[in-house]
Amino acid sequence: MTGIAFILNHREVVSSLPPGSILLDYIRIHSRLIGTKIGCREGDCGACNILVGEPHGEGIRYRSMTSCLMPLANAHGKHIVTIEGLNRKDPTPVQRAMIEHGATQCGFCTVGFVVSLVGFCLGEKKPDEARAIASVDGNICRCTGYKSIERAAAAIAGELAELGEENRLERLVENGYLPDYFQTIPERLRALREKSAQPDVAKQAYIVGGGTDLYVQRPEEMSERRDRYIFDNPRLREVKQVDDEISVGAAATVTDLWESTEFAASFPSLDRAMKLVSSTPIRNMATIGGNLVNASPIGDMTIFFLALESRLDLLQQDEKRTIRLADFYKGYKLLDLGPGEIVESLRFRISDEKDLFNFEKVCKRTHLDIASVNTAVRMRVVDGVIRKAVFSAGGVSPVPMVLNKASALTAGRKPGHALIEEVTAAAENEISPISDARGSAEYKRLLLKQLITAHFLELFPQLCPVEANV
C-alpha cells in the first residue's frame, strides 16, 4: 500500500497527499468533516482537537491532539477520531452534560471541548473532576467563562467514576459514551499497520517531531513536503534508566515523560512543573527533541534539562557523538548540530535524596502560555550545606542559559537570605533580557530575581518570612 493509511472514524483511508499536509485540512477540506473547527491554526485554541488512537500493550491508547499542527504522516497507522466519529444516534453522556449545564453558547469551541472530554473518558487514570478539567486545558472558549463547562466536566467525571476502571473501552461503548465500532478498532488497526509501510523520505528532509513548532512557524512550506517524521519511531520514544542515568528518547513527548514512572521518581514536584507546560493536546505532540532543537530562549523542557546538566547523544549517518546540552546553544537559534544530524536522546544523572530540584515559570497567563521568564535548579545539599547548584534561566538572554556565576558561588554555602541576595545579584550580571510582548527588560530582570528567590523558598521552606506580631 502506498500513501498514508489510517482509520478516520470508522473508515480505513489512504491518502496520496504530501505527508507533510496538515491533518486539519485533510479532515475539513478533503473529507468534508466540518464538525472540526478552525480557530487559530496555531495549537492555541483547541477548536480543531481530535483524538488519536494507537496500539498500546494489549489495547489501544487515545490522546487528544490539535489537528492544525499535525502532519498527515503522523496519522499513519493510527485511529483518527473527529466529532463525526463520536456521535451516536442519541447524545452521548458527554454531549448530554454539555447541553444540560448550558456549556455551549456560540458553539464554535464546543466540538473541541467535547472531543477533549471524550479523551478524558478514554484516559487510563482514575477519573476525577480535576482530570476532567485538565483535559480541556488546551481549549479556549470566549463565550461561557468556563463555569458551565466546569459543571459539565464535574458531572461527567462523576458518572464515569461509577463505570469502574476495568475494560474502559468496552464499558464506554456499552454505556453509550462511544459508538459501537470503537470495539473493532484495536484489531483493525493492527491489521492496517501490518500491511502498510511508512512513507518514504525525500533528500534534504527536515526532521519532524510533533510539528508543534514547525507547523506554527511555516505551515505553508511544511504542508507540501515529504520529510523525516520521527514521531512514531519507537526506539526514539523510550524513557528508561541506564545505570545511574535516565535516558530520554528525543521523540518522547512531554506527556510520555510525565507519565514515565522512572522519570517521575526523581522529581517530587513534577506535576506542578508539567502542568505549566503548554496544554494537554500540545504535550501529547510536543517532543523533547523538538523543544531542544527549536532552541527557543524560553523552551521549558530545555530549561528543565539544563539544570540537570544533561548531555545529548547526536547521530549523523552512522556517527555518534555526545555533547553537553549547555554547549549545544551557540547563539540565538544557533546550534552545534550538523545538517541532517539528529538528536537521539538526552541523558542526565538520576537525582538521589540529597538532590533538590525546582522549576519556576511565570507568564501572562499561568497556563498554556510561553514564559516571560523560566528557570530551574538542581542543588546537592549535604548536612545543610549546598555542595553544588546549577541554575538555568530562559527569557533573559538570546539562548537558554545556565547561570554559571550564580551557580558557582553557592558551593559550600548555607541557604539563607544573604545567599539569595548574592545569587540574584550575580544572576543580574550574567543576563541580557530584551523587551517584547512577554514583558519589559526591567520586568524580566526583576522576575528572574524573584524566581530565584522562589527556588530557595520552595526548597528551604524555613526561609519563608513570617509576618511579625500575628
Kindly state the smallest distance separating residue 147's Cβ from ligand FES, in Å: 12
196 lies in the binding site for ligand FES (CB under 6 A): no
For cell 514547525, what's the residue? 214
| Pairing, β 245-249 against β 342-349 | antiparallel
DSSP state of 346: E
Query: CB within 8 A of 138, min separation 6: which ones?
Result: 43, 46, 49, 64, 66, 116, 278, 279, 280, 281, 282, 368
Left, alpha or beta for 38 (phi > 0: left; psi -120 to 50: alpha)?
A: beta
Which positions from 138 through 177 interact with other proteins, judged by CB under 8 A?
139-150
- In the list ligand FES, other proteins, ligand FAD, none, the entry touching 68 (Cβ below 5 to 8 angstroms by class) is ligand FES
Angle between helices 93-100 and 110-121 (to 10 degrees): 130
Q: How many residues bind ligand FES (CB under 6 A)?
A: 23
Q: Which does 277 bind (CB under 5 to 8 A by kind): other proteins, ligand FES, ligand FAD, none?
A: ligand FAD
**Nearest distance from C-beta of residue 154 to ligand FES, angstroms:** 18
Under rule CB under 6 A, residue 219 binds ligand FAD:
no
Long-range CB contact pairs, 462-465, < 8 A, 24+: 463/415, 463/416, 463/417, 463/420
| 369 touches other proteins (CB under 8 A) | yes
Rule CB under 6 A: is residue 85 a binding residue for ligand FAD?
no
Joined together, the cell numbers standing for residue 13 give 483511508
C-alpha cell at 376: 530551574
The yes or no reply on residue 216 touching ligand FAD (CB under 6 A) is yes
Which of helix, strand or coil describes residue 388? strand
Q: Which is nearer to ligand FES, 45 or 152 (CB)?
A: 45
Q: Does residue 48 interact with ligand FES by CB under 6 A?
A: yes
Q: Which does 291 bind (CB under 5 to 8 A by kind): other proteins, ligand FES, ligand FAD, none?
A: ligand FAD
Instruction: Specify whether the CB–CB gap between 271 and 283 falls below 8 A.
Output: no
Q: Among residues 248 and 377, whose Cβ is nearest to other proteins?
A: 377
Our finding on whether 458 is near ligand FAD (CB under 6 A) is: no
- The site map against ligand FES for 127-146 (x = CB under 6 A) is --------------xxxx--
424 contributes a contact to other proteins by CB under 8 A = no
- Out of 7, 18, 41, 50, the only residue in the binding site for ligand FES (CB under 6 A) is 41
Helix axes 147-161, 110-121, angle to 10 degrees: 30
Q: Which of residues 53-72 bind ligand FES (CB under 6 A)?
A: 66, 68
Q: Choose between 257 and 370: whose C-beta lies nearer to other proteins.
A: 370
- Does 350 engage in binding with other proteins (CB under 8 A)? no
The one among 33, 65, 97, 214 contacting ligand FAD by CB under 6 A? 214
Per CB under 6 A, 47 contacts ligand FES = yes
Q: Which is nearer to ligand FES, 142 or 190 (CB)?
A: 142
Grid coordinates given for 141:
472558549
Phi, psi of 150 (to 5 degrees): -60, -45
The closest of 173, 398, 418 to 299, measured between CA atoms, is: 398
The site partner of 211 among ligand FAD, ligand FES, other proteins, none (C-beta below 5 to 8 Å per kind) is ligand FAD
Q: Parallel, antiparallel, or unpaired for β 373-382 and 355-362?
A: antiparallel
Closest distance to ligand FAD from the beta carbon of 238 (Å): 13
* Binding residues for other proteins, total number by CB under 8 A: 82
Do the beta carbons of residue 345 and residue 247 sit within 8 Å?
yes
Q: Say how many residues make up the chain.
A: 470
Asked if 427 touches ligand FAD (CB under 6 A), the answer is no
Q: What stretch of H or E contains 3?
A: none
User: Does residue 80 touch ligand FAD according to CB under 6 A?
Assistant: no
Q: Binding of ligand FAD at residue 370 (CB under 6 A)?
A: yes
285 lines the binding site for ligand FAD (CB under 6 A): yes
Nearest-angstrom CA–CA distance, 72 and 295? 25
Nearer to ligand FES, 217 or 440 (CB): 217
Is 96 or 228 the residue whose CB approaches ligand FES more closely?
Answer: 96
Q: What are phi and psi of 146, to 5 degrees?
A: 75, -15
Among 33, 118, 293, 362, contact with ligand FAD (rule: CB under 6 A): 293
Helix (H), strand (E) at residue 203:
none
| Paired residues of 343 in beta bridges | 314
* Contact predicate 49/104, CB 8 Å: no
Say how far residue 296 (Cα) sits from the centre of its chain.
Answer: 15
Which residues of the shown chain bind ligand FAD in the complex (CB under 6 A)? 42-44, 69, 206-214, 216, 230, 250, 277-278, 282, 285-287, 289-291, 293-294, 299-301, 342-343, 370
Binding site for ligand FES (CB under 6 A): 38-41, 43-48, 66, 68, 104-110, 141-144
